[in-house]
Structure 1
Amino acid sequence: MKKLFVLALFTGNFLYSFSQEKQKLFKGMYLQWGYNAESYTKSNIHFKMSNGNNFVLHNAVAHDKGDFDAIYKKPSQISIPQYNYRIGFYLNASHSKAIELNFDHAKYVVTDGQTVRVTGVIDGVQVNGDSVLNPDTFLHLEHTDGANWLHINYVQQKILLLTASKSRPLLTTVWKAGAGINIPRTDFTWRGERLNNNFHIAGYNIGAEAGLRLYMMRRIFFECTGKTGFVRYVNALACTPTQKGNRVTHSFGYAEAIATLGYDINW
Structure 2
Amino acid sequence: MKKLLVVGLMMSGLAFAQVKKDTLEKEYKLEVAPLNKVEKKEKPLPLSKKGQFFVFYGWNRAAYSNSDIHFQGNGYDFQLNNVSAQDRPTKFGIVYIDPSWFTVTQYNFRLGYFIKDNLALVLGIDHMKYVMDQNQTVDFKGHISDPQYAGMVQNGQVNLADENFLTFEHTDGLNYENLGIEKYKNLIHKKNIDLVWSYGAGIGVMFPKSNVKLFGNERSDRFHVAGMGTDIRSSLNLVFWKNWMIRVEGKAGYINMWDIKTTLNNKPDKAQQDFVFGQVLAGIGYTFNTKKYK
Q: TM-score if structure 2 supplies the norm length? A: 0.75
Q: State the SS of the aligned residue for 2:173.
A: coil
Mapping of residues 52-131 of structure 1, within 5 Å: 52-72=75-95, 75=98, 76-92=100-116, 94=117, 96-123=118-145, 129-131=156-158
Is 2:279 aligned against 1:252? no
Is 2:184 aligned against 1:157? yes
Is the deviation greater in 118-127 or in 216-225? 118-127
Aligned residues with identical type, % of pairs? 29
For 1:111 and 1:71, the matched residues in 2 are separated by 27
- Count of residue pairs brought into register by the alignment: 236
Q: State the SS of the aligned residue for 1:107.
A: strand
The amino acid of 1:132's aligned partner reads: N
Structure 1, unpaired ranges of 5+: 1-24
**Is the 2:68–2:274 contact (alpha carbons within 8 Å) kept by the matching residues of 1?**
yes
For 1:240 and 1:91, the matched residues in 2 are separated by 44
The amino acid of 2:166's aligned partner reads: L
For 2:124 and 2:215, the matched residues in 1 are separated by 36
Equivalent position of 1:7 in the other structure: none
For 2:171 and 2:95, the matched residues in 1 are separated by 20
Q: Which protein is richer in helix relative to its size?
A: 2
Distance 1:240 1:133, change over 3 A: farther
**Is the 2:96–2:105 contact (alpha carbons within 8 Å) kept by the matching residues of 1?**
no
Equivalent position of 1:176 in the other structure: 200
Equivalent position of 2:59 in the other structure: 35
For 1:85 and 1:139, the matched residues in 2 are separated by 32
Cα deviation digits, residues 235-262 of structure 1 (max 9, x gap): 0111157x83220100000110011211
**Is the 1:159–1:169 contact (alpha carbons within 8 Å) kept by the matching residues of 2?**
no
**Is the 1:41–1:61 contact (alpha carbons within 8 Å) kept by the matching residues of 2?**
yes
Q: State the SS of the aligned residue for 1:69.
A: coil
Cα deviation digits, residues 86-127 of structure 1 (max 9, x gap): 1111113x4x11001111001111110101001111126786
Across the aligned residues of Structure 1 and Structure 2, the Cα RMSD in angstroms comes to 2.2
**Is the 1:207–1:230 contact (alpha carbons within 8 Å) kept by the matching residues of 2?**
yes
Equivalent position of 2:34 in the other structure: none
Equivalent position of 2:44 in the other structure: none
The amino acid of 1:223's aligned partner reads: R
**Is the 1:134–1:140 contact (alpha carbons within 8 Å) kept by the matching residues of 2?**
no
For 1:107 and 1:172, the matched residues in 2 are separated by 29
Distance 1:123 1:134, change over 3 A: farther
1:221 alignment partner, one of 245, 249, 252: 245
**Cα shift at 1:157:** 0.8
**Cα shift at 1:137:** 2.1
The amino acid of 1:158's aligned partner reads: K
Cα deviation digits, residues 138-166 of structure 1 (max 9, x gap): 10110111110111100111011011x3x
The amino acid of 1:248's aligned partner reads: A
**Cα shift at 1:193:** 3.8
**Cα shift at 1:217:** 2.1
